[in-house]
Amino acid sequence: MQGIVRSVHSQFVLIVGLTIGARLDAQVHLRAHAPPGRLINVGHRKLHLYCSGNGTPTVVLVAGNGGYSIDWALVQPRIALVTRVCSYDRAGYAWSDPGPADETVEQTIPDLRNLLHAAGERPPYLLVGASIGGIFIRAYQRSFPNDVAGLIFTNSSNRVGRSVNGNISLIWDLTEDEIRSTFPLRESAKGSIPTHQGEPFDRLPPTLQTLRLWLDVSHWKTWEPSNQRSDLILSWRSEFLREFEETKVGKEPPLGKLPVVVLSSDPIPSEAERQSRDGAAARLDVLSSNTVHITATGSGQEIHLYQPEILVQALARCVAAIRSNTSTPIE
């Protein structure tokens, strides 16, 4: 059963808000471990981008909250046999420099576009969003529709909650003032230093498990709960509300015939679920008239780690549809 929060690690984890000085120190330390890809200048900052393979469209892998580019290691090499594919670390993660408002939609979308263009990675893009990455790929398509040839949502965040006065509510049901009242965070939110890689990251190769733990520890050391701001949650709230509005019953699919794949560990939602605001993922099935829903039965939240072959197959189908004609049905 889904909990009140559905994001990477099956819980809602707040990231962002480290002091700039501490985070920059962390980035210097991180670069002692060479990144697998390139550090690309996006204007007074550098972001890490790792690309492989050849062909079009270029697949862009967008990790969930708390995720890194290396988390796609079971998927990226196989996609690279079919087409060009890029993974990256958002600002403030792994080898990427922090920005002024990390993890907000307002920073993440221009960051990604500037990164791809600066690196010479040209559209069209097939965007893949895991967990909270789903709102980022949808927001990217809305901002730059001519860049995007298709979208793949993999267990996109569904029920993002927050505790206000001891009661947990979905963030789109809270007012802006209620969300602001939950900041700053208590020092106890920092938790204990990470000591190992459990499910599902123990499915990565041993060397990447070691690297991932090192990245987690580096991030933990510089993360300060007292410096967290409400900007991130308010940004996500706005994006979810926008998606609810554009997928109201009776409206035409906002994405027309754009190829869309909804990959989920849950079955196809009922009509009642699609009309409800009790969850967000059900609305994804009506974004386009050219949508296919694939159920990854038995998978945990990170389908790209639990059942990577399902995502690889979905990507291959979507790439073939895009190459033949963007209006061609995926199935």
222 pLDDT band, cuts 50/70/90, is: confident
Q: What are phi and psi of 102, to 5 degrees?
A: -60, 145
In the chain, where are the structural domains located? 8-324
Residue 330 pLDDT: 78
Q: How far apart are CA 86 and CA 76, in angstroms?
A: 8
The pLDDT of residue 239 is above 50: yes
The pLDDT of residue 310 is above 50: yes
Residue 132 pLDDT: 97
The pLDDT of residue 17 is above 90: no
Q: How far apart are CA 97 and CA 107, in angstroms?
A: 13
Reported as a single tens digit per residue, the pLDDT across 158-196 is: 999 999 998 999 999 999 999 999 999 999 999 999 999
Q: What is the DSSP letter of 194?
A: P
Question: Rg of the Cα trace of the chain?
Answer: 19
Q: Which residues pair with 293 in a beta bridge?
A: 262
Reported as a single tens digit per residue, the pLDDT across 94-114 is: 999 999 999 999 999 999 999
The pLDDT of residue 25 is above 60: no
Q: Are 68 and 40 in contact (CB under 8 A)?
A: no
58 pLDDT band, cuts 50/70/90, is: very high
Reported as a single tens digit per residue, the pLDDT across 248-302 is: 988 999 999 999 999 999 999 999 999 999 999 999 999 999 999 999 999 999 9
- Average pLDDT in the 218-231 region? 91
Dihedral-angle region of residue 9 (phi above 0 means left; psi in -120 to 50 means alpha; beta otherwise): left
Residue 217 pLDDT: 95
Residue 30 pLDDT: 47
Residue 201 pLDDT: 97
The pLDDT of residue 227 is above 90: no
- pTM over 0.75, yes/no: yes
Residue 1 pLDDT: 36
What mean pLDDT is reported for the chain? 90
- Average pLDDT in the 22-35 region? 55
Residue 33 pLDDT: 82
Residue 5 pLDDT: 37
Topology adopted by domain 8-324 = Rossmann fold (3.40.50)
- Average pLDDT in the 16-41 region? 60
Q: At what angle do helices 133-143 and 105-118 cross, to 10 degrees?
A: 70
Q: Closest Cα to residue 94, out of 69, 115, 71, 111? A: 69
- Average pLDDT in the 289-318 region? 96
DSSP readout, 203-243? GS-HHHHHHHHHHHHHHHHH--GGG--THHHHHHHHHHHHH
